Chain A
């Protein structure tokens, strides 16, 4: 049986869609130059999906953006997680690296965009760099906290059984810190999207942010809305996929949490 909550929710979404139609098409209260009508939105969606806009189809732009987010994200995990684990494990590493973090952390990832463009131009490299900055800090902090939260007896038991150092890291410490690491990843995924869209708006040759940028310059409200909705859908979809990966990787932990 579908609950009352679902009906009210569907009702409110329908009401907003109706309001949208009413204000734009039916009464013309909001002029089409300010906000697109549902028909404009549909036409724009059709245009970008079939004929393409800003040098490519919707799928190509979306794929470009997803590719960059995934690449930046993977680089951030590959560098941030080992660093965080090391800092959690070794007080000296923590003492040496923390002050550098204190300097770099307050600078928002978005503020790196101009520098990234100066260094790497308008191509993919600059975007990967800023996404790396957005996702790197949460990866480090959460891996660090993950190690610090491991129960000491677990590590002592492994050491007592003569586990070599490498296996201790890969089979005891990393898995035990993994739930915390995933919490950090979920936080940084949204930040990665924000950063990517901003970077593509400032300067790019393809991608959803580039579509938004072109639509802004063409004063094309329908296409702006298409771009925004696509950003939302992609953000939601990647979060969903990360959730699936977490469920897969941490079956032992997630099962107990729900």
Chain B
């Protein structure tokens, strides 16, 4: 059911009303002291703190430095998941026996929330960089594997038959037929992975880290520095959104090149 579309001006007016209503309510709750300012700082306070944190350190580093160390772990974890998950998925899509061997194990592990690896991550790596990477990997791995596998399984049989008739070996079949054909599916899997990895990173840093935005937020929480907690949330949201926008652009570009529906 598609209701009648609004005119552009109406749409903007309602959007502005909603946004200002939301921010106004937030500002009013803290300004009139309905909620103690210590627990709900005004939007201005949060913005001021955000700007303040850009140059002044909290919990040992400034906000950009915390973001940089978070992003480094994140990149390692997601890349590791992609470099293991995608090839394994393609192999599972081609070799039936591997599919039969791996799938039950994978299905069993998948129900364990990535964050539940935290205690082992702490036990094995302390607060070093390995712990968060393990947890990001646990969050980002399943979509990489599943999408590569599905992409490889749903390649047009004609392509495989033609290649097979021409005597293509296993390696070339995977690299030159399955991989290109599965690329759109793999890329959308990577996008999902990137999002889940970012979520896992935040969770990991809340518990096992000595730097990073999550760590900064936990320290701020312990000090009842609510504006800092909220500035951290804003930073996490902004970076997550930037990652998503970039990957969406990449995916759309790839799909256009392939002549697929965007």
Chain A residues within CB distance 8 Å of chain B: 4-5, 8-13, 16, 34-35, 88-92, 95-100, 103, 106-115, 117-119, 147-152, 154-155, 173, 190, 193-194, 197-198, 201-202, 209, 212-213, 215-216, 219, 221, 224, 227-229, 231-233, 235-236, 239
Q: Is the interface of A mostly helix, strand, loop or mixed?
A: helix
Q: Is the interface of B mostly helix, strand, loop or mixed?
A: helix
B190 to chain A, nearest CB (A): 18
**CB within 8 A of A227: which of B21, B22, B119?**
B119
Interface residues on B, range: 35 or more
| Residues in B191-214 with C-beta less than 8 Å from chain A | 198-199, 202-203, 206-207, 214
Interface stretch (choices B60-68, B77-85, B146-154, B219-227): B219-227
What A residues does B237 contact at CB under 8 A?
Answer: 103, 106-107, 111
Measured CA separation A88–B113 after assembly (Å): 32
Interface stretch (choices B48-56, B96-104, B158-166, B250-258): B96-104
Q: List 18 A-B contacts (CB under 8 A).
A: A13-B108, A95-B6, A100-B19, A106-B240, A108-B236, A110-B203, A110-B206, A111-B217, A114-B221, A114-B229, A115-B226, A152-B1, A194-B199, A198-B207, A202-B207, A216-B123, A231-B113, A232-B109
Q: Are B1 and A235 in contact (CB under 8 A)?
A: no
Chain B residues within CB distance 8 Å of chain A: 1-6, 10-11, 14-19, 21-22, 39, 97, 100-105, 108-109, 111-120, 122-124, 198-199, 202-203, 206-207, 214, 217-218, 220-221, 224, 226, 229-230, 232-234, 236-238, 240-241, 244
Measured CA separation A148–B1 after assembly (Å): 5
A134 to chain B: closest residue by CB: B199
Q: Are A13 and B105 in contact (CB under 8 A)?
A: yes
What A residues does B97 contact at CB under 8 A?
Answer: 8
Q: Given A8-B101, A232-B112, decide whether A106 and B39 contact each other with a Cβ distance below 8 A.
A: no
Q: Are A227 and B233 in contact (CB under 8 A)?
A: no
Q: Are B206 and A114 in contact (CB under 8 A)?
A: yes
Q: Are B233 and A224 in contact (CB under 8 A)?
A: no
Q: Given A8-B100, A114-B217, A190-B113, decide whether A96 and B232 contact each other with a Cβ distance below 8 A.
A: no
Q: Are B105 and A5 in contact (CB under 8 A)?
A: no
Q: Are B111 and A216 in contact (CB under 8 A)?
A: no
Measured CA separation A201–B117 after assembly (Å): 11
Q: Are A111 and B202 in contact (CB under 8 A)?
A: yes
Measured CA separation A212–B114 after assembly (Å): 13
**CB within 8 A of A99: which of B18, B111, B198, B207?**
B18
A45 to chain B, nearest CB (A): 16
Contacts A95-B6, A111-B236, A228-B120 supplied; 12 other A-B pairs, CB < 8 Å: A34-B124, A91-B6, A92-B10, A98-B15, A107-B236, A111-B214, A151-B1, A154-B1, A201-B115, A202-B218, A227-B116, A235-B112
